[in-house]
Structure 1
Amino acid sequence: MYLDSPAKLIGEKRMTFRDLEWSSFKQIQQLLTERTHARFNFVDGILEITMPLESHERFARLIELFIRILVVELGLKLKTMGSTTLAREDLLKSAEPDNGYYIQNYSRVADHEIDLSVDPAPDLIVEVDITHTDVNKNLLYASLGVSEFWRFNGQAWQILCLTDGRYVEQDKSPTFPLVEKADLYKFLETALVDEVAAEVDFRQWVRQQLV
């Protein structure tokens, strides 16, 4: 099942640079961060600069609401990282995801700022990529050690779980096995018309499942 979406939906503007040294990437990042709200992903010499547009941001924020409802109703703990830069110079990789979360490893990171040289990567990363991306994000987040990676392209939700160093697609999220893909699609479909109604309806549904 897929979420119905307008044809040729444009979610992001992108610019790609290739064959960059880490130092050059950091200089570009520092310069443009002061002037724009762009996000930067760097993988093995490829830098992609992304400017999210309205459809991208709506889907990203609504998926975040979906996750927060599940966390609250299931009685879990959460540390939200948003688009915090996840950088590993030793791996020549840096990411600024749409949403990042610590859930299973919450107790290990709750009381301090994250240092990926000693702390685990976020347990769950969410990326909305409606338009084509030149960055291999599966490789990027697998290299960083992100155990669960959600990808959404405006219509379909991929649930990718890290197994032996690479992602394998699953039908359900191991973090939230209560929900099916159809539940996210229904939530988004309602939320695109009425966000408050979508939240109320979904909270009630989760509570009913738990009973």
Structure 2
Amino acid sequence: MLLEPPPKPIGEKRIAFRDLDWQSFKQIQQLLTERTRARFIYDDGVLEITTSLERHERYARLIERFILILVVELGMKLKTMGSTTLDREDLLKSAEPDNGYYIQNYALVADHEINLERDPAPDLVVEVDITHTDINKNRLYASMGVSEFWRFNGQEWKILCLVDGVYVERDRSPTFPLVAKTDLYQFLEAALLDEVSAEVNFRQWMKQQQ
């Protein structure tokens, strides 16, 4: 008797359109933004529209909490961008990440609204992709100049750092070298059961490391 493999977890619903010019993409984005809570990512003619499900949202929000705890406990500065649209018409690329942050470049952008024609890209971008995506996000964010890119697929956390225009995977984040991958995994495991106690315990652990 052959057993069917367990179904793959679903974190997002996606629909993709191809061969769209920039103007058509922006028209669709404007029209659907008024009617949906979907996120849009555009890469040189390919538009992917994503609707997040509970599994995706929980991980995205918990990873954001993990980052905020690190920033506070380490005494760092932060400008949170959330899913703010990052448009680069000159590159024919646009993204609405799960989370984006200015940390190293905080002082350059703290006092005004971001304009990527003159401001740097966020220092750190986070994407949760549990369901397959047709967009090559590594190439997209690298071309935008995002220096650190975190990807999480529900099981594995990849820390990607920009080196000579391409991403290289690292074992630790250069922004938060104090923490290892196991620290995020443990935090997520605990937070899925009890978010409040997970935060309290992680803050205590952070204080002990300094």
Calculate the TM-score normalised by the size of structure 2. Answer: 0.97
User: What's 2:118 paired with?
Assistant: 118
The answer to whether 1:156 aligns with 2:150 is no
Which residues in structure 2 correspond to 1:16-31 (within 5 Å)?
A: 16-31=16-31
* 1:61-109, Cα deviation, whole Å (9 max, x unpaired): 0000000000000000000000000000000000000000000000000
Q: Which runs of 4+ in 1 moved over 2 A?
A: none
Structure 2's unaligned 5+ residue stretches are: 1-5
- Identify unmatched segments of 5+ residues in structure 1: 1-5
Equivalent-residue separation in structure 1 for 2:123 and 2:88 (angstroms) = 16
Q: Secondary structure at the match of 1:97?
A: coil
Residue number in structure 2 paired with 1:52: 52
Q: Deviation digits for residues 94-126 of structure 1, max 9, x if unmatched?
A: 000000000000000000000000000000000
Match of 2:209 in 1: 209
- Larger relative CO (CA 8 A, sep 6+): 1 or 2? 1
CA RMSD of aligned residues (A): 0.8
Q: Which amino acid aligns with 1:204?
A: Q
With over 3 angstroms needed to count, the CA separation of the structure-2 counterparts of 1:81 and 1:18, relative to structure 1, is same
Q: Which amino acid aligns with 1:160?
A: L
Residue 12 of structure 1 corresponds to: 12
Which digits, 9 at most, give the CA deviation of each residue in 1:178-199, with x for residues without a partner?
Answer: 0000000000000000000100
AA partner of residue 200 (structure 1):
V
Alignment of 1:28-43 (within 5 A): 28-43=28-43
Aligned length: 205
Greater CA drift, 109-118 or 7-16: 7-16
Distance 1:8 1:142 in 2: 28
Q: Percent identity?
A: 79
Compute the displacement of 1:7 (Å).
5.8
Q: What is the rounded CA distance, in whole Å, between the counterparts of 2:143 and 2:33 in structure 1?
A: 24
The answer to whether 1:146 aligns with 2:146 is: yes
Matched, 1:137 2:131: no
